[in-house]
Structure 1
Amino acid sequence: MNLILLHPDDLDQQGYARISDPRRLAHLRDIHRAAPGDRLTVGVQGGGMGKGALIELTPEQAVFALEPLADTPPPALPVHLVLALPRPRMLARTLEHVTALGVKEITLLHTKRVEKSYWQSPELLPEKIHQHLVLGLEQARDTQLPSITLSKGFRPFLEEQLPALLHERRGLVAHPGMSMECPRGISENTLLLVGPEGGFIPWEVEKLLEAGCQGMHLGPRILRVETAVTALLSRLF
């Protein structure tokens, strides 16, 4: 936790922040080894960042006196990530990684090779998704939560969502065997589509290309989704 991320409800009108949830308290106590008088980096979800002086730490709560939170979070990546829904354990790690890298718009998509049972996973509960996003923000010292859209049908996504997503964005489909190498160091607004572990099926690739996306590859190695997404984002931006 490189940032003590505060929810607006943690703040009072006197300029203090009060933390009472076990996870953050345990991290302050066991990882930071914090003690009253320490100044730690804090930020408010959706707001600024700065320093907070720890004035109380008990098993029940931590209280910070906040200094002006005038620092801005790091800039977001100019990308909307469309990710075929991974296995639940991989989804958790991937959400944390891409949030830490600065992705602010994420669509989780059903494709032919996505197991239907994945959509029943507890990892897709709003509170679980929020937990993973928060962990990514704390890692990267960021305060701006990504937005998450669940798209449970490929054809409805193709017909109803994709045209709007491609408006003023460059569409890139990451898929093995494409002729174009993954670009490097781009700055334009981008729609990045990444398939499941088995990849998109040929019909899905064909339809995405027909819609105006470009196919690209990362080389001859077949990577796990969480590795591929991290590599793609790092290379693209």
Structure 2
Amino acid sequence: MNCILLPETSFQHDTAHIYDLAQIAHVNKVLSAKVGDSLKIGQLDGKLGSAIIEDIAPDRIQLGDIQLTINPPPKLNLTVVLALPRPKVLRRLIMDMTALGVNDIILINSYRTQKSYWQSPMLGRLDEFVLEGLQQGVDTIAPRISLQKRFKPFVEDELASLITNRAIVAHPYSALSFSQYVQQLGSNEPPHRSVGSLLPSMVFIGAEGGWIDYEIDLLATQGCAAVNIGPRILRTEAAVNVILGQWLL
């Protein structure tokens, strides 16, 4: 973790306390921090800054000289709609999307999503994974996460109201590449428009196995353009990072 994030309740006047055992272990074993050392900290939903370690006990760390003056980095103007993946990769994907600054995450059912995934205890640990991602990305504002267990009603009844700019769906068998898609948009815009302003506000990414033709066609009826990101078939984790890298750049 690249910063220690604490809830508002951990702060009292000019002091704060770390009670989370994983965070305490990180301070002791990874950072090898001692009393008097400075820590990079942040308040959840608040600002980033620093604090000085005043006392270390097995079950808590007391901090003083709290300085929270730095605004968190801006979020990406992006909603990621992700077909619910295998539970073992859900943690990594939530962490990565959070660290990259995704503003909204929608976990959705798809034809290739196994029903058992929706009963996974991992879904009850999303806040934990988000916290890990925030501490990795040095951010304090968690993404909004929602669950959509019915694909067709979501696309037909809710999707249009959520698309603030334009939307794409990652599909390795599309004839149109992501770069071609952006170039086509740019050719219809004034020369001064930046590439960032042309990027869509929503992207659909399938789980392993991708989307079926019916899902691609249904998304197309709502204006979602199918694009590929190259000739290689990538794992979901790789595809998420490759695609979101376009917004970071």
> Above 0.5 in TM-score?
yes
- Which residue number corresponds to residue 126 of structure 2? 129
> Shift of the alpha carbon at 1:165?
1.1
1-side partners of 2:121 and 2:144: how far apart? 18
Root-mean-square deviation over aligned CA pairs: 1.2
CA-to-aligned-CA distance 1:114-143 (integer Å, 9 cap, x gap): 000000000001xx1011000011011110
Q: Tell me, yes or no, if structure 1 residue 186 matches structure 2 residue 185.
A: no
1:111/1:150 CA distance change after superposition, 3 Å: same
8 A Cα contact 2:16 2:66, kept in partner: no
- Return the letter of the residue paired with 1:199: G
- Which residue number corresponds to residue 59 of structure 1? 58
- Which residue number corresponds to residue 210 of structure 1? 221
> Shift of the alpha carbon at 1:215?
1.0
- Return the letter of the residue paired with 1:200: W
8 A Cα contact 1:76 1:104, kept in partner: yes
1-side partners of 2:93 and 2:116: how far apart? 18
1-side partners of 2:167 and 2:65: how far apart? 43
CA-to-aligned-CA distance 1:146-195 (integer Å, 9 cap, x gap): 110000010111122211112x2210110011122114653355111011
8 A Cα contact 1:182 1:236, kept in partner: no
2-side partners of 1:155 and 1:121: how far apart? 22
Q: Which runs of 5+ in 1 are unaligned?
A: none
1-side partners of 2:89 and 2:102: how far apart? 17
Q: Tell me, yes or no, if structure 1 residue 138 matches structure 2 residue 135.
A: yes
1:196/1:34 CA distance change after superposition, 3 Å: same
- Which residue number corresponds to residue 94 of structure 1? 93
Q: 1:200 aligns with which of 207, 211, 216?
A: 211
Number of residue pairs aligned between Structure 1 and Structure 2: 233
2-side partners of 1:74 and 1:20: how far apart? 26
> Shift of the alpha carbon at 1:236?
4.0
| Percent of aligned pairs sharing the same letter | 38
- Which residue number corresponds to residue 77 of structure 2? 78
- Which residue number corresponds to residue 190 of structure 2? none
8 A Cα contact 1:174 1:215, kept in partner: yes
2-side partners of 1:236 and 1:45: how far apart? 24
> Shift of the alpha carbon at 1:74?
1.1
Moved runs in structure 1, 4+ residues, more than 2 A? Answer: 183-189
8 A Cα contact 1:137 1:143, kept in partner: yes
Q: Tell me, yes or no, if structure 1 residue 230 matches structure 2 residue 226.
A: no
Q: Tell me, yes or no, if structure 1 residue 220 matches structure 2 residue 217.
A: no
2-side partners of 1:66 and 1:17: how far apart? 9
- TM-score of the aligned structures, taking structure 1 as reference length: 0.95
Q: Tell me, yes or no, if structure 1 residue 46 matches structure 2 residue 66.
A: no
- Which residue number corresponds to residue 11 of structure 2? 11
Q: Which runs of 5+ in 2 are unaligned?
A: 183-194
The answer to which of 184-193 and 85-94 deviates more is: 184-193
CA-to-aligned-CA distance 1:17-53 (integer Å, 9 cap, x gap): 1112211111111001011101111100000011101
Q: 2:169 aligns with which of 168, 173, 181?
A: 173
SS at match of 1:33: coil
1-side partners of 2:10 and 2:24: how far apart? 13
- TM-score of the aligned structures, taking structure 2 as reference length: 0.90
8 A Cα contact 2:41 2:50, kept in partner: yes
8 A Cα contact 1:17 1:66, kept in partner: no
